[in-house]
Structure 1
Amino acid sequence: MNKSVHLKRLELIKPFAKRLIIGVTVMIVTVAIQLLYPKVVSHFIDTLDVTRTTAWYAGFAGIMLLVLTVHSLATALRYYVFESTGLMVVARIRQKLHKALLKQNIGFYDKHNIGELTNRLSADVEVLQDTLTMGLAISLRSLCVCVGGVVMLLLTSPILSIVLLIFLPVSLLLGKWVGRNVRERSKNIQQSQADASKVAHENFSNIKLVHAFNRQSTAQTNYKSSINVALDIAKSCTKFLATFQGTFSFLTYFVLLITLWIGATQILQGALTVGELTSFVIYSAMVASSAGAVSDFWSDWMRTIGATDRIFEIIESSPSAQPSLTHKPTKDIHLEGNISFQGVTFSYPERPETKALSNFSMSINSGEKVALIGSSGAGKSTIASLILGFYRADEGSVLFDGQSFDRIGADHVRSFVSIVEQEPSLFSGTIYDNIAYGAVSDEVTYDDIVHVSKLAFAHDFIESFPSGYQTVVGERGVQLSGGQKQRITIARALLRDPKILILDEATSALDSASELKVQQALDNLMKNRTTIMIAHRYSTIEKADRIVVLDRGTLVQQGTHAELRRYKEGLYYQLMGHQIPKQRAEAI
């Protein structure tokens, strides 16, 4: 196996080296006391004498009590240092993984379920805690005890030690073999658990649909099935480890039995005392249990590597399809809002055989309002995604004020763009926080929030809530109506003061009363901004300066509403003819 695989895990504890040095120092104290204890017991047994006074025994007990107190305190401190360091390591790796996930492009999320990713962030990372710190500490202590115990055994009885010197390599080789087998099994366990989390996440995300169609039993059956798959894989691994534990236990006690038999023979021959045999047995138990602990740790370590392979793949992966900058953007680069598509051809990563856009060219001037219409799959949302830099064109280029993403950078472009979607995206926090999320910088005041809320016709209904702007909206804004959520997202977009605005079916899911309020808010939002409207409603489209009609990724018509409605054979009339007011249709 590649050594770097092990080093990657061990590098996680590097920032906590000082804490771990303290822990190791304290551990050495506990190991030293543990190794001396059998020798003291041996001395006590061999020097038992009825002629000794009670004061001698009391003094001996007092000294031992003091030593054991030191051992207990050192053990407690060792446990705290390593366990707390483990918690710190887990927190750090979760932050690194979360940061790596945030950096991934949108195509990454097209391929991965959110439930799977959150499982990686919780369960997979948790595996590191016990193994990487406490497990590593126990293994290191066990190794020290094992080595020290072997030395003490050799000093006590070289003849008896031969048995253990045969047993130790066998146990360590057995542990290494088990670890190699456990790694792949653990990787499968984590994947099956991630799959089960994905099923649960989908059930809960669509809970209203589940209840509406009375599909609770189906949802439970699907989850039960995925859990049973994970259970079967885990049970298989447990069975394998149980077999190893049973075999190792037999070997341990078998070696102890042989040791006692040889030791009894040595005592009868006068080559060994009862106290020495007692201490030898204690040391043998120490060495055997320590060797077992080292072997167990290796199995756990390999299981950890298998369980966390995917974590490190994500952390070390470079987001694909991200523009590589040839020019470092500065605050001096200010976009005016001109957009140009030049011969753009694009296919989604998951559907490479289907062209979402094919040799598409279009220019939008700063401040122009352009409506994109077409049937489902025509490429409207794809254009918005390319403007936001979610994906990169396979061929051709998208230019902003004549400059490409390669030169400006997606992050810098997005600082001039706002989007209002059909289904508003809200966090579960307060209304204030959701609006403030749109700010380009963190320097936003309460007055700023109120100002944009008034422009979005949201201030009145927000103030009607008992907590006002501190009202918690619930997950995805479940506590608010559709129109209220939409106006909050418009306020958020206004706060950004964008040069480019994308309206993705912003009013299509609203009733007439809500649409009127939202449309008034959108009128305020669109003033003096380059606006791309993805829409099907006539009330939205008629506000556009130009209408672009798409069909299967190509531009088939463009012009004003008055120009396009004259062509009854055109796609625009086919799509919109039924929405054109009767009196206007008659005038055609």
Structure 2
Amino acid sequence: MARGNRQDNGVRKPDMPKAKLNRENLKEAILIFRYLKPYRWTFVTGLLFIALSSGTTMAFPYFLKKLIDSAQSLSLGKDAVSPGTIALWMLGILSLQMVFSFMRVFLFTYVGEHALADMRKEVYRKMIMMPMNFFAQRRVGELSSRISADLSQIQDAVTGMLAEILRGLLTLIIGMVLIFVLSPKLAGLMLSVLPIIVVVGVLFGKRIRKLSRNTQDQLADSNIIVQETLQGISNVKSFTNEWYEIGRYTRSLQDAVKMAINNGRFRGLFVSFILMSIFGTIILVVWYGTTLVQHGAITFGGLTAFVVYTAFVGGSMAGFADLYSQLQKTLGATQRVREILRDETEPVTVIDEPVQEQNKLHGAVTFEHVAFSYPSRKDLHILKDVSITAAPGEQIAIVGPSGAGKSTIAALLLRFYQPDEGRLLFDGKPADTIPLSQLRKQMALVPQDVMLFGGTIKENITYGKPGATQQEIEDAARKANAHNFISSFPEGYETIVGERGIKLSGGQRQRIAIARAILKDPVILVLDEATSSLDSASESVVQEALDNLMKNRTSFVIAHRLSTIRNADKIIVLDQGHVVESGTHQQLLAREDGLYKSLTKLQLEFTSV
């Protein structure tokens, strides 16, 4: 896995890739702000409180100057406002600052959370409605990162970074104006030194961040060694490679230690430089300021206020380096999220509507001279001139060697992909004339590797028909031979199946998937090697459930075990993307040197060994 883009694994979160700060990227980022539109007045109010917060912050040193000068004037016998009065003003300003700061944080958090929730919903909706080709070309981790890490980065920008940038700019502008008002000579001296400190600080910061990333990457590598070793512990022990793995882990840790020490050296130099620079600048400013105080060019209170304003300006300038880095990361996250929002989705309806009368199927399916290649492998022709006809209620079995194109038939039936050539017809109507969601509502898939969601058994069964009654659920489970084992659990249908159904056996998961399909009551059924991964005992129970499911339905059975499809109305034999044989079990066995007969013979020989 690439460095800087590694999952946490208990070590660290992946680094967010950065994007260049240019007009095009900024224009894309601004489009994200359309999600702020429903909350624009709250956002504007938040901006107002940022200005008020910055104003009260910058007023504090001014009143500090007044307080010191007042005390000095009174000590010299001059008329002046009472220090107690000024202190009360300062307490009032401090109280206002607390209110303004609270409102600023609260309003920006309110806007950011709501706007990002809207964005998450839209990104998830777009993502889940993408065609299968979209998912075939991307990793699940990459897509998860879009809706978690990337959107979190944008959320941080809206709720925190934007406010910090605006506050920093206001502080910098107001501070620069005030230090020149207080003393142009001191301001000139300070500005001659401050940029050097900021530039060196930025360079040090870049180097330290790079060393820190390298150290964290090396630690992540060490953690991966532990993970791989523990996952493959049987191999480690069978090859007696315990000491080899210990050595590999030790070397990786030593490299991490060296990097961490090098990083510590640079951080130590950086801290020393910053302390020296800050206090050196303060000493220089105060020294020069005292000479100005002696000559009456500035009061002692003015000098104090100048030092405080200088600290504010320096802090704002130093903070912009990190804010710039955060802005680059936000632009990168925005680009990746916008890629998803721009992509075309499948033409499915958002609202769950019932099947309309004109779209109801009877179950006739026809493949007319279909040819197909996957979009990511256009040079590899999976299906070539395939023609298959299924009458309503017929059981069609699809068999053939691995890579013959069997599962591709199932993908085309469900319209995960479109044929490159030829036509797919349902009841004589071209597939693309039937709305996609209307078509899929009348079809069900039972795959080889059943995917159960991490909720209850009841929730997984009702996935086929949300809102089904308990009686309907139990009837479907009985037909799927699942009711007895479900009832044996203490929680019954409320039993939590665990992630991907890990708490259930393969046969139990398969029967829940069948119950789900029975509850859906499809017109067309697709079974993609639904029993190939089961043992003989589980297979017989599941096969009985499948027989119940296939009654009075057009069924396409993609089979690995040929013994399960002997009673099929028609068996289609595929080889290298072509239909090479077609007929019943007996008709195909009667063919000398036929592929189906050869496959059957091989399986019989294998099972008899």
Shorter chain as normaliser: what TM range? 0.7 to 0.9
> Which residue type is aligned with residue 419 of structure 1?
L
> Which residue type is aligned with residue 375 of structure 1?
P
Gap change, CA 1:579 and 1:133, over 3 Å in 2: closer
| Residues 1:31 and 2:77 are matched in the alignment | no
Q: Which residue of 2 aligns with 1:20?
A: 43
Q: Identity percentage over the alignment? A: 37
Gap change, CA 1:289 and 1:159, over 3 Å in 2: same
Q: Which residue of 2 aligns with 1:309?
A: 335
Larger CA deviation: 564-573 vs 19-28:
19-28
| Residues 1:523 and 2:544 are matched in the alignment | no
> Which residue type is aligned with residue 290 of structure 2?
A
Q: How does 1:183-582 map to 2 (within 5 A)?
A: 210=232, 213=235, 259-319=285-345, 331=356, 332-439=358-465, 442-578=466-602
Contact between 1:9 and 1:132, CA under 8 Å: does it hold in 2? no
Query: Unmatched 5+ residue regions in structure 2?
Result: 1-21
Gap change, CA 1:330 and 1:446, over 3 Å in 2: closer
Gap change, CA 1:178 and 1:560, over 3 Å in 2: farther
Gap change, CA 1:86 and 1:174, over 3 Å in 2: farther
Gap change, CA 1:25 and 1:341, over 3 Å in 2: same
Larger CA deviation: 84-93 vs 170-179:
170-179
Q: Distance in 2 between matches of 1:305 and 1:167?
A: 32
Larger CA deviation: 85-94 vs 536-545:
85-94
Contact between 2:395 and 2:557, CA under 8 Å: does it hold in 1? yes
Contact between 1:175 and 1:299, CA under 8 Å: does it hold in 2? no
Shift of 1:354: 1.7
Q: Distance in 1 between matches of 2:592 and 2:92?
A: 100
Gap change, CA 1:34 and 1:324, over 3 Å in 2: closer
Shift of 1:371: 0.5
Contact between 2:32 and 2:334, CA under 8 Å: does it hold in 1? no
Contact between 1:31 and 1:141, CA under 8 Å: does it hold in 2? yes
Deviation sequence 1:234-291 (CA, Å, 0-9, x none): 9999999999999988877776565445433432332222211221222222222223
Q: TM-score, normalised by structure 1?
A: 0.82
| Residues 1:98 and 2:124 are matched in the alignment | yes
Contact between 2:66 and 2:86, CA under 8 Å: does it hold in 1? no
Q: Distance in 2 between matches of 1:389 and 1:233?
A: 53
Larger CA deviation: 349-358 vs 13-22:
13-22
Q: Distance in 2 between matches of 1:232 and 1:428?
A: 43
Query: Unmatched 5+ residue regions in structure 1?
Result: 582-588
Contact between 2:60 and 2:90, CA under 8 Å: does it hold in 1? no
Q: Distance in 1 between matches of 2:372 and 2:260?
A: 43
Larger CA deviation: 20-29 vs 566-575:
20-29
> Which residue type is aligned with residue 427 of structure 1?
F
Q: Distance in 2 between matches of 1:19 and 1:412?
A: 42
Deviation sequence 1:119-175 (CA, Å, 0-9, x none): 333233322233332121122112112222222223322343345667889999999
Shift of 1:551: 0.2
CA RMSD of aligned residues (A): 4.4
Gap change, CA 1:336 and 1:98, over 3 Å in 2: same
Shift of 1:16: 3.2
Contact between 2:362 and 2:523, CA under 8 Å: does it hold in 1? yes
Q: Distance in 2 between matches of 1:271 and 1:406?
A: 85
> Which residue type is aligned with residue 304 of structure 1?
T
Gap change, CA 1:372 and 1:178, over 3 Å in 2: farther
| Secondary structure of 1:313's aligned partner | helix
Q: Distance in 2 between matches of 1:408 and 1:224?
A: 62
Q: Which residue of 2 aligns with 1:78?
A: 104
Shift of 1:357: 0.6
Q: Distance in 1 between matches of 2:463 and 2:535?
A: 27
Q: Distance in 1 between matches of 2:55 and 2:541?
A: 77
Gap change, CA 1:512 and 1:556, over 3 Å in 2: same
Q: Distance in 2 between matches of 1:83 and 1:265?
A: 47
Gap change, CA 1:108 and 1:178, over 3 Å in 2: farther
Deviation sequence 1:52-110 (CA, Å, 0-9, x none): 99x95444434433332332233233233334544444444433332232122222322
| Secondary structure of 1:437's aligned partner | helix
Q: Distance in 1 between matches of 2:320 and 2:236?
A: 53
Shift of 1:376: 0.5
Contact between 2:359 and 2:439, CA under 8 Å: does it hold in 1? no
| Secondary structure of 2:296's aligned partner | coil
Q: How many equivalent pairs are there?
A: 562
Gap change, CA 1:300 and 1:580, over 3 Å in 2: closer
Q: TM-score, normalised by structure 2?
A: 0.79
Q: Distance in 2 between matches of 1:308 and 1:220?
A: 42
Gap change, CA 1:385 and 1:220, over 3 Å in 2: farther
Q: Distance in 1 between matches of 2:390 and 2:371?
A: 18
> Which residue type is aligned with residue 46 of structure 1?
D
Gap change, CA 1:502 and 1:243, over 3 Å in 2: farther
Q: Which residue of 1 aligns with 2:10?
A: none
Q: Which residue of 2 aligns with 1:61?
A: 87
Q: Which residue of 1 aligns with 2:139?
A: 113
| Residues 1:47 and 2:70 are matched in the alignment | yes
| Residues 1:127 and 2:150 are matched in the alignment | no
Gap change, CA 1:364 and 1:102, over 3 Å in 2: same
> Which residue type is aligned with residue 460 of structure 2?
N
| Secondary structure of 2:464's aligned partner | coil
Contact between 2:52 and 2:100, CA under 8 Å: does it hold in 1? yes
Gap change, CA 1:309 and 1:234, over 3 Å in 2: farther
> Which residue type is aligned with residue 47 of structure 2?
V
Q: Which residue of 2 aligns with 1:6?
A: 29
Q: Distance in 1 between matches of 2:499 and 2:254?
A: 30
Q: Distance in 2 between matches of 1:343 and 1:293?
A: 66
> Which residue type is aligned with residue 573 of structure 2?
V
Larger CA deviation: 529-538 vs 109-118:
109-118
| Secondary structure of 1:422's aligned partner | coil
Gap change, CA 1:62 and 1:267, over 3 Å in 2: closer
Contact between 2:29 and 2:334, CA under 8 Å: does it hold in 1? no
Q: Distance in 2 between matches of 1:241 and 1:514?
A: 63
Q: Distance in 2 between matches of 1:224 and 1:102?
A: 44
Deviation sequence 1:161-201 (CA, Å, 0-9, x none): 3456678899999999999x99xx9xxx89x99xx89x98x
Q: Distance in 1 between matches of 2:429 and 2:255?
A: 52
From 140, 145, 150, give the equivalent of 2:176.
150
Q: Distance in 1 between matches of 2:335 and 2:463?
A: 34
> Which residue type is aligned with residue 363 of structure 1?
T
Q: Distance in 1 between matches of 2:274 and 2:435?
A: 59
Q: Distance in 2 between matches of 1:417 and 1:110?
A: 22
